[in-house]
């Protein structure tokens, strides 16, 4: 089936939804088909001033390349920290999308998700990049609203939809009602911060150097409550004393402190949002609970742990990784019922 078959046309153009996350870039068509989902990473040859790889191929090169080749993650905490590298990355992404769909960005409506409360500078950075590629139809939508749509929640009704979006660079909790965000809270330390804490513990305690990709693999073997856990995790790295490759075994419980910090960050934004929620919606929240989206939603035991802290039902979205991008691609179909979406024009 064509990516555009049966899709609703806005101004005669198909629409794609783009979620430019710290860890991954996800793009969906307006027919709810995934077009692109790869790491927000590029491999860059500093001598030749050339992008060699992007996405999975670039991530696989991390810590395996000569000094002249840098593997770069141009977003941190959900914001662009390297404008030039982000521009180069998005250009390559557009080429991939064009090869898949037969259309350039300028031939489509683009709906891009942003953090709630994103600054004008952050908005301008994304806009400048896309307008430089000839984009003529660009909309911004707040990511939590997009996640609510993508998770299949009744965002347009005057009732409480609380979404907890746990990504690599940020954790955001938002209360969505009647097509808009009522209140929201964000912390810009999330899954990537836990990866760094895992790598730091292994280095400090065992004199073993591991990369962030290896630390991420360890993370997905952890659970929320490991205080009495005797399970051993095998970790490969480099011995900082001998310089040789080494494999060690570490008890999962040794990572509990880092996991606890991560959990406390999640709880903090949830509590802030619930405390700032209108009392008229409290009954809705107690009945409908919270919906978890983002990759961090898949941390083992998270929904049970969070339920024990806030005493409301906890649900995990059917496709937590894709909820924001999927909702972003669907937004134009509901534009008349959305508050937190805006058309963007070049400066």
What is the predicted pLDDT for the residue at 229?
Answer: 76
Side-chain half-sphere CA neighbours of 177 within 13 A: 15
The 3-class SS string of the chain reads CCCCCCCCCECCECEEEEEECCCEEEEEECCCCEEEEEECCEEEECCCCEEEEEHHHHHCCCCCCCCCEEEECCEECCEECCHHHHHHHHHHHHHHHHHHHCCCHHHCEEEEEECCCCCHHHHHHHHHHHHHCCCCEEEEEEHHHHHHHHCCCCCCCCCCEEEEEECCCCEEEEEEECCEEEEEEEECCCHHHHHHHHHHHHHHHHCEECCHHHHHHHHCCCECCCCCCCCEEEEEEEECCCCCEEEEEEEHHHHHHHHHHHHHHHHHHHHHHHHCCCHHHHHHHHHHCEEEECHHHHCECHHHHHHHHHCCCEEECCCCCCHHHHHHHHHHHHHHHCCCEEEECCC
pLDDT value at residue 10: 58
- 215 pLDDT tier (thresholds 50, 70, 90): very high
Q: Alpha-carbon distance 340 to 143, whole Å? A: 9
Q: Is 5 annotated as a binding residue?
A: no
Is 100 assigned a ligand-binding role in the annotation?
A: no
- Tell me if 297 is assigned to a ligand binding site: yes
Confidence of residue 1 (pLDDT cuts 50, 70, 90): very low
Instruction: pLDDT band for 11, please (50, 70, 90 cuts).
Output: low
Q: Would you say 90 and 130 are in contact if contact means Cβ atoms under 8 Å apart?
A: yes
Measured CA to CA, the distance from residue 114 to residue 144 in angstroms comes to 9
C-beta separation of 118 from 144 below 8 A: no
Q: Is 186 annotated as a binding residue?
A: no
Q: In the predicted model, what is the mean pLDDT of residues 106-126?
A: 92
Compute the distance between CA of residue 330 and CA of residue 15 in angstroms, rounded to an integer: 8
pLDDT at residue 172 greater than cutoff 50: yes
Domain with CATH 3.30.420.40 in the chain: 15-147+323-344, 154-317
179 annotated among ligand-binding-site residues: no
Would you say 218 is a known binding-site residue? yes
pLDDT, averaged across the chain: 93
| Angle value at C-alpha 253, between 250 and 257, nearest 5 degrees | 115
Q: Flag whether 217 is marked binding.
A: yes
The CATH number assigned to the domain with range 15-147+323-344 reads 3.30.420.40
Q: What is the pLDDT of residues 320-336, one digit of tens each?
A: 999 999 999 999 999 99
Model pLDDT for residues 176-202, shown as the tens digit of each residue: 999 999 999 999 999 999 999 999 999
> Mean pLDDT over residues 295-306, rounded?
96
Q: Return the pLDDT at 347.
A: 80
| Residues facing residue 223 across a β-bridge | 300
Alpha-carbon distance of 107 to 307, in angstroms, equals 45
Q: How are strands ordered across the β-sheet holding 42-45?
A: 50-54, 42-45, 69-72
pLDDT average, residue stretch 81-94: 97
Distance, in Å, from the CA atom of 74 to the CA atom of 106, rounded to the nearest integer, reads 23
Residue-wise pLDDT tens digits, 39-74: 999 999 999 999 999 999 999 988 788 888 999 999
| Residue 185 counted as an annotated binding residue | no
**Is 298 annotated as ligand-binding?**
yes
Phi, psi of 186 (to 5 degrees): -135, 140
Q: Is 23 labelled as part of a ligand binding site?
A: yes
pLDDT of 242-257, one tens digit each?
999 999 999 999 999 9
For residue 45, the number of C-alpha atoms closer than 13 Å in the C-beta half-sphere is 7
Q: What percent of the chain has pLDDT over 90?
A: 87
What pLDDT, on a 0 to 100 scale, did the predictor assign at position 3?
55
- Say yes or no: domain 154-317 is CATH 3.30.420.40: yes
Q: What is the mean pLDDT of residues 128-145?
A: 96
Residue 307: HSE in the Cβ half-sphere, 13 Å Cα cutoff = 13
């Amino acid at each position: 089936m064509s990516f555009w078959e049966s899709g609703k046309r806005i101004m005669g153009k198909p629409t794609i939804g783009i979620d430019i996350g710290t860890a991954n870039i996800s793009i969906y068509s307006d027919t709810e088909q995934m077009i692109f989902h790869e790491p927000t990473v590029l491999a860059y040859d500093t001598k030749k001033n050339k992008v060699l790889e992007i996405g999975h191929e670039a991530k696989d090169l991390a810590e395996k390349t000569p000094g002249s080749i840098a593997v770069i993650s141009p977003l941190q905490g959900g914001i662009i920290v390297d404008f030039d590298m982000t521009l180069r990355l998005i250009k390559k992404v557009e080429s991939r999308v064009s090869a898949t769909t037969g259309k350039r960005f300028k031939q489509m409506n683009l709906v891009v998700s942003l953090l709630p409360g994103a600054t004008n500078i952050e908005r301008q950075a994304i806009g400048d990049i896309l307008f430089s590629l000839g984009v003529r139809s660009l909309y911004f939508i707040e990511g939590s609203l997009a996640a609510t749509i993508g998770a299949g929640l009744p965002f347009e009704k005057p009732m409480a939809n609380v979404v907890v979006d746990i990504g690599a660079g940020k954790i955001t909790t938002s209360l969505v009602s009647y097509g808009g965000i009522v209140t929201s809270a964000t912390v810009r330390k999330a899954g990537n911060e836990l990866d760094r804490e895992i790598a730091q513990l292994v280095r400090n305690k065992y004199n073993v150097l591991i990369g962030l990709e290896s630390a991420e693999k360890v993370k997905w073997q952890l659970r929320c409550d490991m205080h009495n856990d005797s399970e051993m995790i095998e970790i490969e790295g480099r011995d900082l004393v001998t310089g040789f490759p080494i494999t060690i075994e570490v008890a999962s419980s040794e990572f509990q402190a880092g996991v606890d910090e991560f959990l406390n960050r999640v709880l903090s934004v949830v509590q802030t949002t619930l405390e700032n929620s209108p009392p008229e919606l409290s009954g809705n929240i107690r009945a409908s609970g919270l919906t978890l989206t983002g990759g961090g939603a898949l941390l083992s035991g998270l929904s049970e742990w969070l339920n024990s802290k806030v005493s409301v039902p906890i649900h995990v979205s059917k496709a937590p990784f894709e909820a924001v991008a999927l909702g972003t691609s669907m937004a134009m179909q509901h534009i008349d019922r959305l508050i937190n979406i805006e058309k963007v024009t070049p400066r």
